[in-house]
Amino acid sequence: MAEQVSELQGEMGKIRIANEVVAIVAGLAATEVPGVAAMSGGIAGGIAERLGRKNLSKGVKVEVGEKEAAVDMYLIVEYGVRIPEVANQVQSSVKRAIEAMTGLHVIEVNVHVQGVSFAKEEEVVEEEARVR
């Protein structure tokens, strides 16, 4: 698969931004939102992480044109959060980060909630078991 890039004409020449770069920016912005437990990358992403390689664009799909970008985010939220609020915060954070770092206009950020994480509850149960 050929690497797709966004190409902008600057004063001194062309500026090329790879889709992977836009996806990494989006993934990092999303994981900084409170209530987002993880990005959902499917089987391939899970295998790469088990092998020790962290995929920073896991759970992110981008379409980048010359001046615009569209993003699909696949994420797992923490148990107990208000999902619509977290999704709205992810949309705002991702849009702001991509536009600030790349100069591309983000036309849409679609959030797909793939699961709920109960990790905090499990950690508490494990800690209690160690104390006994």
C-alpha–C-alpha distance, residues 87 and 106, integer Å:
16
C-alpha–C-alpha distance, residues 30 and 91, integer Å:
8
Amino acid at 72: D
pLDDT higher at 75 or 130: 75
Tokens, residue 70:
């569209």
Q: Is residue 113 within 8 Å of residue 77, measured between CB atoms?
A: yes
Long-range own/partner contacts, residues 121-129 (CB < 8 A, 24 or more apart) = 121/79
* CATH dotted code for 5-131: 3.30.70.1350
pLDDT range class, residue 13, cuts 50, 70, 90: confident
How much is the pLDDT for 126? Answer: 56
Give the residue carrying structure tokens 């500026």: 15
The tens digit of pLDDT for each residue in 55-112 reads 778 899 999 988 899 999 999 999 999 999 999 999 999 999 999 999 999 999 999 9
Per DSSP, which regions of 28-132 are E strands? 36-39, 60-64, 68-78, 105-117
How much is the pLDDT for 110? Answer: 97
Domain residue spans in the chain? Answer: 5-131
C-alpha–C-alpha distance, residues 88 and 76, integer Å:
14
CA 15 → CA 40, 51, 61, 67, distances in Å? 31, 34, 22, 12
The tens digit of pLDDT for each residue in 23-66 reads 999 999 999 999 999 998 754 444 444 444 467 788 999 999 88
